[in-house]
Structure 1
Amino acid sequence: MTNSSTDQHSTPTPAELREQIEHTRHELGDTVQALADKTDVKARAQQKAGELKEQAVVKAGELKVQAAKATSQVQDKLPDPVKEKAALAAGQARTAAAQAGRMWEEKAPASLQQRTSQSAQLAREHRTLLLVAAAGLTVLWVARRKG
């Protein structure tokens, strides 16, 4: 581990010693920083959480696309009379929901209405996730009925 300058001189010059010391100091600093990074559990956990969140977003997007395709395929296979009955049932469900909503406003305690309102807001904020879950359940239900 000798270099040409130390071969020419029997002892290293002060400049060479300073250079060696600076190089060693730099390597030691890098090693200490690497060890500090490994022991920073909070930072590593945050990094891992970020990676997992990114993976979840990607997977949710994939599932959304798959659910949309499956829903489209199921709808394409449904006969027109079934589609008409579904549309009629949906209209009746909307009417019944409106009536239930009016009754709810008249008879439910204010505290319960407030908690329900907060839950509804939460559902609206996570609408995509709920729609993907509902589509997945619909596909499973249709697959079971055919099987």
Structure 2
Amino acid sequence: MTQPPHDEPTAANPAELREQVERTRAELGETVEALAAKTDVKARARQKGAEVKEQVAVKGGQLKEQATLRAGDLTARAADVAHQAQGLLPEPVRDRTAQGARLAQDNHKVLLAVAGAAVVVWVACRRMKG
């Protein structure tokens, strides 16, 4: 027969012995489940993939918001520079500058979408490397 563990006293009666056996079985079952979960590589990979996907989505949203704010700032700055340059530049250059500023203002949503997509792809690539 084996000796009882040093931290647990010997059972005084059959009922206590049954309780000790049931407790040991439960602990052993939990240990086996934990080990099985650690060895399930596919499940762990899926879980990690879902976590990375969530992080990329969150970061992409944050970066899109920042890009939107910066695009607004840049549009305002471009308008200011174009306004200031009107008096300093020859007529053809002023016309071209105004045309570029209007084009940027008219297509700011497209520019933001492209910038946001580029940022999401960049973040995803960085996550895959790391």
Please tell me the TM-score bracket, short chain as reference: 0.5 to 0.7
Counterpart in the other structure of 1:141:
none
Residue 37 of structure 2 is matched in structure 1 by 37
Is 1:52 matched with 2:52? yes
Out of 132, 137, 143, the position equivalent to 2:116 is 132
- SS at 2:69 equivalent: helix
1:8-55 deviations in Å (ceiling 9; x for gaps): xxx621111100000000000000000000000011001100110011
Q: Which has the higher helix share?
A: 1
- DSSP-derived class of the 2:12 partner: coil
User: Gaps (5+ residues) in structure 2?
Assistant: 1-6, 84-93, 107-111, 120-130
CA RMSD of superposed structures (Å): 3.0
User: Quick one: structure 1 residues 129 and 46, their matched pair in 2 at CA, closer, same or farther if it must change by over 3 Å?
Assistant: farther
Number of corresponding residues: 93
Shift of 1:88: 6.3
Check 1:51–1:2 CA distance in 2 against 1; reply closer, same or farther (3 A cut): closer
Aligned residue runs from structure 1 range 1-147, under 5 A: 1-2=7-8, 12-78=12-78, 79-80=82-83, 84-86=98-100, 87=102, 130-133=114-117
CA gap 1:83/1:26 in 2 versus in 1, 3 angstroms: farther
TM-score (normalizing by structure 2): 0.59
Greater relative CO (CA pairs within 8 A, separation 6+): 1
C-alpha displacement of 1:63: 1.0
2:69 aligned partner, one-letter code: K
Give me the TM-score of the superposition, normalised by structure 1.
0.53
Distance 2:56 2:104 in 1: 35
Letter in 1 for 2:16: E
The answer to whether the 8 A contact 2:63-2:116 is kept is yes
SS at structure 2 position matched to 1:12: coil
